[in-house]
Structure 1
């Protein structure tokens, strides 16, 4: 029986990926993988390692793997990431760099310590940029500013993952002379000053179907011939044996931006992960924190530096100190019952320190009224409409 080869997977898809990589590989001195530990970027990472070890792709002097650790990953994804990192550490040509946001900008610290409300899809979608994109750009800049030449950043972006992403791909597929089918090569990525113009990105799995992703993770990658990767556990985070059919997308635990946390609901329905059911209490807690009773509100006319009046002079703002303290205790109770680490000791100490110091976001003092209290209406032109029957609401 002949040994298995990479062509036994999905010949057309893998060959196109390899052609994409070879087309740009020699144009750069350094190589890196942006790894979120999700299904697509994990497929990319393990496939590239196999291609190098099998001699299909030239072995780089160093492959940098930037792992975006948001501290909010679903437990099966976090467990798989830890196991994969352990295997990567055995290879002397790979360097894993764990990327986290600075302490004060981490998800829980930013909300409970500084008082910024949980993100939403309308006016306050701060999370992805702050806990993933900006730390990754900073880590790239730090790593590359000491190295001469250019770098190729490989990502697991695929078509069909979201309409917004597909729109960006459609607008960008002809940039920089790249041909369709060559993996969405772009010579523009982060705007970090130290690496501007020195890094290009390539998405060599752009054309992969989701069924190919699952075949690789559940069947091929775990085989010794392809690296013996512990990727089957990822199926749990996406629905177990029904992962392909459910096609659940994962994000942060109890993601405030999602109407429903399908991935978490699927996980806790499995006997192996049933102990995580207290995590289902996070979404209701985030909704509670966004209510007016837990927040402050600007009192009236607010003038900007140029003398103009703010467009929303009575906008709702940060969480009250009382709400933050209450939410902190609830999160700590949830993580204790679920047996996970949502807030570690360092983060808890910092949150309590910030609350004790009465820390608020910029332009807020904490002297503002609570957002559920009745106030005279103030309009963007500075006019005021007093409350009628004031004695009934005082």
Structure 2
């Protein structure tokens, strides 16, 4: 689904509108878009009622759309090769979970969830964007958020308007798309980040309460950058490993007699682990320590000590590699080579089993770190990683 790259900034909303005109020979009624995200820290804590700290990427997925009067959903997508792929039209009243394969399941799932909210009108939707797919940067959630805003907008429920659903409500609907329609047992992190993040900030979210805070994150003021390293190894939340980890943490909470692992006090961790079967110990240790790392990083950011967060990124990666066991050789190599080349801290980001890593790097050292990671991949015989500097950007909204 990624759009074409080049020297000029890619504008997803313009690409989607142009593709819509190509498919339907008319202009769309509107264009809505949503960003991918990077999670600075706080991995696999969201479905444990914990804390997360994501920010939105400048990379976006746009949905150009117009209403239909026949109750059908027509979806098409503009690929990175410039070709448009169209799915067979779907009757919204006939949609059922797990009944559609491939990328079309995501917009179909949105229509299915919104049907329960009384929104049953048909639509023509054409998608375009440059959020890398399979990179752990939440391309599927960006798609679902953009389509949600498009279908809501066509029904007269524009975002942030009186009587319209809130961003938090839409995030929970998108979670239903993933969990119930697509069959991926994800939490609330990705869609909430896509909908609620703001420019120049990280979003400190308490998943249990829904309370959030925009925390300033100006790396440039400290001469630093966040470098994203796409390992180019695909991952999918619908695959078994993610679900196994989630079921393990839920089983641990049940054995401990608590609602979620969020309720395990950090200072009581060792005693708590002694009450659990050996196979659940590392999962619980990761979640509890990761929640504490989020709180520690937020405290440092509030104190204006951003350069000091690097060791917490490092510790997060070790925890995901050794305790949660969701890293890969490619991600470990990206993290290790970035650190060896001078990064202040690095970790894999996202659900794991592939995807991307991030590194906190001095601005002047970005080329050196990129070269070191690329050289390490070359030595292993892997294709070169994709790297870019990530800047906290605006969340979802209407573009035209």
TM range (shorter): under 0.3
- Give 1 or 2 for the bigger CA radius of gyration: 1
- Normalising by structure 2, we get a TM-score of 0.25
Q: Relative contact order, CA 8 A, sep 6+: which one is greater?
A: 2
- Normalising by structure 1, we get a TM-score of 0.26
